[in-house]
Amino acid sequence: MTDVSTTTGSPAPTESIPGPAWLGVGKLRTMAAHPPRFFTGLREEYGPVVRFPFGNSHGYLLSDPRVIQDVYIASDRKFGKDVLKIGKGNRAAPMAIILGRGLATSDGDFHRTQRRRIQPIFHRQRIAGYGATFASLAAEASAGWTDGQQMNVHEQMYEISLGMVAKTIFDVSLDADVAHTIRTAFPRRGGPLRWEQVVPFGRFVIKLPLRNNRRFRKGRKALNEIIYRMIEERRQGPGDGDDLLSVLLSVQDAETGEFMDDELVRDEAMTLLFAGHETSSGALTWAYHLLSKNPEAKKRMHAELDEVLGDRLPEVSDLPRLVWTDAVFSEALRLYPPVWVTVRRTLTEYTGAGYVLPPDSFVMISPWVVHHDPQWWPEPEAFAPQRWIASDGADPLGGHAVAPGRPRMAYLPFGAGPRQCIGNAFARMEAIMALATIGRHWDFEAVNDDPVDVVTHITVQPRRGVQMIARRRR
C-alpha cells in the first residue's frame, strides 16, 4: 500500500473518514444545480478527504494535492477509469459511449501502449506548425463582426474552436459537411451524456427510448459515418497529409510495428475532436467574461497585444512575449477548469492521507475544488492574472501561483501524470492565439451585471451562453 499520510501511526479505517451520513434536501438541491459548489462545500466542511453517499455505496473526494499527486502519478496503476457498471460484470469509463477506446477512456496496458504510440504526434514542432492556422481562422471569424453588435460570445467561440479542430484534425473548412455534422451531433451541454456524470446507473438511462437519446444516437451514427469515410479516403490516398487524422493512420507501435485499425483511429480522432472544441470554446468564453468584469486586466492585455503585435497576426514565436495574455488564460482555467472532475476506481486497497480505501472504491478528484481552496489560492474567487507572473511582492497576489515550494497538484486543469491531457500544449496554443488575434481589434462589454449560470455535466460551460457587445478597438 502507498501511504502519503499526513498523520503518524497506522492508517484509519474507511468508516472513520469524515463526511455526511446522508444528503438532505438542501445538499441534494445544491448537488443537482451546481455540483462543483456542492463538493467544494464538502471539502470546506469535512476537509481534504471526504466520504459521501453515492448510490447504494459511498464515494470519496480527495482534495489534498499530495494525495492527488500520488493517485495521478506514483500510484496510477492502482486506479482504473472504468467506474461505470454497464451490466453482466462489465465496466466502462465515462464518455466511452461516444469516445470508444480513445486515450481519455482506455485503461491499463492498452492505455499505456496507446499513449506511447500517439505521444510523438504532439511534439513541439508539429504543434507549432498549426499556429498560423489558429490565427488565420480566428481573424476570419472576427472579420464578420460589426461594431456594437450584441452576440452570444460562447456561440462565437464555439464556431472558432470548431473551425480550428476541423481544419487541424480533418483538414476541412467550417462549411464542410463534417463541421455541420459536428455542430448537430455533439450534444450541447452534455445532452444524454450528462446522466453518466450525475446518476450511478446513468448508462442505462441513456438506453431508454427518449427523444434526446434517439437524437444522440442518430448524431453519433452520422458522425461515425463521416469519420470512417475520411479514414477510407486517406487510406486510398498518397498518405502524405498533415492533418491529425492522416498522422494517426501513419502511427506505428515502436515495439510491434503495428498500425491502428479503423475503429481505434476513429476513437482517437473523436477524442481529439471533442477535447479540441468543447473545452477550448468554454475556456475562451470564460476568459472574455472575466476580462469584461475586470477592466484593468483587460486594459493590460490590450496594451501587451498592441506592443507585441501591432496590427499583424500573432505568430508562435510571439508567445513567450505574450506574458499577460498567457496569464489571463491560466487564471481563467483556474476559476473555470474545463474538466471540473475526474474519477477513478481503486483496483486494490489504497492508503492516502492516513485512511484506507478498499478495492472498488469510487474516487473523485476535482480541479474545481482544488482551484478554489484558500489554502492554496489566496482570495480564490478573485480573477487575478498577476498570480502567474513573478512579482516584487508589492501585490499580495502577484507571483503567488509561480512561487517556489507550492504543491504541484494545486493547479491541474489538464490533469497530470500518465493520464494528463495529451493535447494540453495544443489547447493552450489554440486559445492564446485566438485571444491575441481577436484582442488586436476587438473588445467585449458585458450586456448586464447578471451572474452567468454554470453547467458542469461534462465540461464547464455557461448554461445559456454569455451575451456581450463587441466593440472595435481601432
Tens-digit pLDDT profile for residues 422-470: 889 889 999 999 999 999 999 999 998 888 999 887 789 998 899 999 9
Checking if the pLDDT of 8 tops 80, the result is: no
Tens-digit pLDDT profile for residues 226-236: 999 999 999 99
Residue 83: which domain range? 1-38+52-93+343-365
At residue 211, the pLDDT reads 82
At residue 456, the pLDDT reads 85
Domain count, the chain: 1
Residues 264, 101 contacting (CB under 8 angstroms): yes
Checking if the pLDDT of 204 tops 90, the result is: no
| 189 marked as binding residue | no
pLDDT band at 84 (very low <50, low <70, confident <90, very high): confident
All three cell numbers of 469, joined, read 457587445
List the single range of 46-50, 140-144, 169-173, 315-319 with lowest mean pLDDT. Answer: 169-173
Tens-digit pLDDT profile for residues 380-397: 999 999 999 998 888 999
pLDDT band at 3 (very low <50, low <70, confident <90, very high): very low
pLDDT band at 78 (very low <50, low <70, confident <90, very high): very high
At residue 90, the pLDDT reads 84
At residue 288, the pLDDT reads 97
Distance CA 79, CA 98 (A): 22
Look at residues 246, 228, 248 and name the one whose alpha carbon lies nearest to residue 237.
Answer: 246
Asked if residue 69 is part of any domain, the answer here is: yes
All three cell numbers of 243, joined, read 492533418
Asked if residue 68 is part of any domain, the answer here is: yes
Ordered alpha helix ranges (H), 89-173: 96-99, 108-118, 124-129, 131-142, 153-170
At residue 199, the pLDDT reads 57
SS3 442: strand
Distance CA 214, CA 140 (A): 35
Residues 264, 231 contacting (CB under 8 angstroms): no
Distance CA 364, CA 355 (A): 15
Checking if the pLDDT of 174 tops 90, the result is: no
Q: Where are the beta strands (DSSP E) in 31-148?
A: 49-54, 57-62, 79-80, 84-85, 91-92
Asked if residue 309 is part of any domain, the answer here is: no
Average pLDDT, the chain: 89
Asked if residue 3 is part of any domain, the answer here is: yes
Mean pLDDT of the region 294-300: 97
Cβ burial 58-83 (10 Å sphere, 16+ → b, else e): bbbbbbbbbbbbbbbeebbebbbbbb
pLDDT band at 198 (very low <50, low <70, confident <90, very high): low
At residue 1, the pLDDT reads 36
Checking if the pLDDT of 312 tops 60, the result is: yes
The residues that bridge with 345 in the sheet, in sequence order, are 80, 362
Asked if residue 353 is part of any domain, the answer here is: yes
Look at residues 364, 337, 343 and name the one whose alpha carbon lies nearest to residue 39.
Answer: 364
Q: Cα dist. 274→38, 51, 408 in Å?
A: 26, 32, 27
List the single range of 122-126, 191-195, 356-360, 392-396 with lowest mean pLDDT. Answer: 191-195
Asked if residue 33 is part of any domain, the answer here is: yes
At residue 5, the pLDDT reads 44
Look at residues 12, 86, 82 and name the one whose alpha carbon lies nearest to residue 51.
Answer: 12
Checking if the pLDDT of 300 tops 90, the result is: yes
At residue 190, the pLDDT reads 57
Asked if residue 1 is part of any domain, the answer here is: yes
At residue 2, the pLDDT reads 41
At residue 177, the pLDDT reads 79
At residue 197, the pLDDT reads 59
Tens-digit pLDDT profile for residues 220-271: 899 899 999 999 999 998 877 889 999 999 998 878 888 999 999 999 999 9
Asked if residue 455 is part of any domain, the answer here is: no
